[in-house]
Each structure stands twice: as structure tokens, then as C-alpha cells.
Amino acid sequence: MVSANAGGGSSAVFGRAPAPRVTLPKKGVLLGIAWSGAQGAGNQIMAAKVELSATKAKLSQVWRPFTDSPGRRDVLQRLPEWIAETARWAEGKLVVGFDFPFSLSETHLRQLNLLRQSLRGPGALGKAIEERFLPQGVDFSEAAEVFRDQLGKERIRLTDCYRATPNSPTSQKLYRHTFFGLVALSRFGDEVNFVPWDPPVAGQASIVEVCPVHVARVLTGACSFADDPRDGVNRSNLRAVLLRTLRTASKLEFDMEVAASIVEDERADGLRAVLAAVGAGASASAGFEGVPANVPRSEGWIYSVREEPWRDG
């Protein structure tokens, strides 16, 4: 019996879908930030800026914006000013994606008696966490250890399940990022909107939580793109593949010098920042819609490119 797919000289493989497509906004600026909560965080935090127009999306800069004042307290002081300056330059059309958790699991929030603050948003939650764990004179590293010890067993949020994140907000790898990140968000005022707690407002920056690993997995199936000394694998080729996929899927343009620096970055901080920007931009293009009805408001939502972006509709 001859298969219906035999003959015809076609080289297409049965069942294959077309390449993924990612839609970005047509105006404004996207800012993706690969975060760090380590000592000297300013030397590790990486940012990627994407400038948008009706015809293209240009990756204009990938850099470490806080290297001249890398201390965590310096970063806290400079972060709101930097975002506000970028928003002015973008004429209010700014979307920012941070790659750290904007909240904790509802179980942990109840355990800390911070559920009410979390319902108001990450700024209020971060302020309450700072007041409890970071009184004047206490070191960030020490405060983060106490924070994690009080929470005890790791708990994941429902959004972590939806996005299959590799680490929970209070895991050994992430708890410093979460702690310092929430404290940092408490420094912002009413000039920004933390989506989905706040609806986006024209003329104001929208700030969202993103997961670069999810963007990479959805677009290419990659589960990891940083070099890891534990397995000795050089993933520079995979980083190059991800950049090429972003170029074809979202029409992202970039100079070869920028691409080379991203591919050669063994830690993949630059690529994390770029993926964060694309994830934030894709969610903005979709109007920040699509948060599942069963996700608790207190836990927030990880915004990203849509699942299976090769499908129609």
C-alpha cells in the first residue's frame, strides 16, 4: 500500500508546522533586564533595549547599566531614575520586563502575613518585606538568608506551573534575586504600572515579570542556553540559533557586533535580557491579555510570547 504522502517529489516532512511568529508593538521602547541579587549586583545586571517602529524592531543596546555604582543600595537608588529617563526618551511608550519573581506563593504570603500587601502589587509587597527583613544597618545578604529561613519549604506559584519555570521564587538559586528584586520594585511610585495588578495606562511605563527560559523554550525547544561548568557543554551555537530565531520570528534587527557579544557571553546574561525584552513586548502587543482565571491575584503572572506561536489564530 502506498502512503498518501509518498511521491510528488516533496521534501516536506508530514506534520511539520511553519516557523514561529512573534508580534511586537509598532511604537516605543522595550527594556529587558536580566536581574541579579548577588553582592555587587550592578556588575551582573544586564539590560537590552529594543527600539520599535512601524517597519522594524531594532536591538539598539545590550549593556550593564549599573557598573559605575554596583552596590545593591546604589542600584536601588538609581533604578527608578533610569527607568523614568528611559520612559521620557520613549515618550511614555515603555514596556519593561524583569526576570525575577514579582511575588511569592499564596501559601508563603499567608505564612508571612503579607497577603494583603501582595494583592496591592509588588511595590507594596516589596516595601513590607524591606520593613520586616531589612531594617537600617542590616546587610542584604544577611536579610535574604533570614527571609528564606522563615519561609522554609519551597513553594511554587501557579504561574510557575503554567510557565514551567526552572526555579521557584525561594529556591536556593533564586531567593536572593526575589528578595532584592521585590525591594527594588518598592522604590517605584505611581509613575509606573505593575501589570497585571495595574492596567496599562497610556503615557506611563508598564512593568511586567518575564521568564527568558520560557521564551527560549517556546521558540526553539531549548531548555538551557548558558554554558554550565557542571556538564562542560559550550552552548554558543545554541545562543546563535536563538538570535537567528528571534530575527526571523519577530523581525528583530541587530548589528553583528552586538550579536557576537551575546553569543560569546558564557553566562548568557545578554541573551536573557534580549529574551526578556521580547517576552515583554509580545505580551504588550497582545494587550497583556490571557491571564488564566484561576491564577491568584496575589501571585501575579509571568508574561511571555504565546504558547505554540507557529499556530494560526
- Which pLDDT tens digit goes with each residue over 22-71? 999 999 999 999 999 999 999 999 999 999 999 999 999 999 999 999 99
The average pLDDT across 116-135 equals 97
Q: Which residues pair with 302 in a beta bridge?
A: 209
Is residue 310's pLDDT more than 70?
no
12 pLDDT tier (thresholds 50, 70, 90)? low
Q: Are 66 and 41 in contact (CB under 8 A)?
A: yes
310 vs 246: which has the higher pLDDT:
246
Distance CA 64, CA 253 (A): 20
Which region among 8-12, 248-252, 269-273 has the lowest average model confidence (pLDDT)? 8-12
Cell 509588588 sits on residue: 122
The average pLDDT across 117-136 equals 97
pLDDT tens string 176-229: 999 999 999 999 999 999 999 999 999 999 999 999 999 999 999 998 999 988
Distance CA 47, CA 41 (A): 13
What is the structure's pLDDT at 11?
57
Distance CA 193, CA 101 (A): 16
pLDDT tens string 62-97: 999 999 999 999 999 999 999 999 999 999 899 999
> Phi and psi for 227 in degrees, rounded to 5?
-70, 140
144 vs 19: which has the higher pLDDT:
144
Q: What percent of the chain has pLDDT over 90?
A: 88
17 pLDDT tier (thresholds 50, 70, 90)? confident
Cell 482565571 sits on residue: 293
Mean pLDDT of the chain: 93
311 pLDDT tier (thresholds 50, 70, 90)? low
The average pLDDT across 281-305 equals 97
Q: Which residues pair with 44 in a beta bridge?
A: none
- Tell me the H-state helices in 38-174: 72-89, 106-111, 115-120, 122-133, 140-151, 158-163
Q: What percent of the chain has pLDDT over 70?
A: 95
Q: CA dist 111 to 104, 114, 153, 158, 215, Å?
A: 11, 8, 11, 17, 32
Is residue 19's pLDDT more than 80?
yes
What is the structure's pLDDT at 275?
98
The pTM of this model reads 0.94
What is the structure's pLDDT at 308?
77
What is the structure's pLDDT at 231?
84
Side chain identity at residue 289, one-letter code = E
Distance CA 56, CA 52 (A): 6
Burial class (CB in 10 A: 0-12, 13-18, 19+), 108: buried
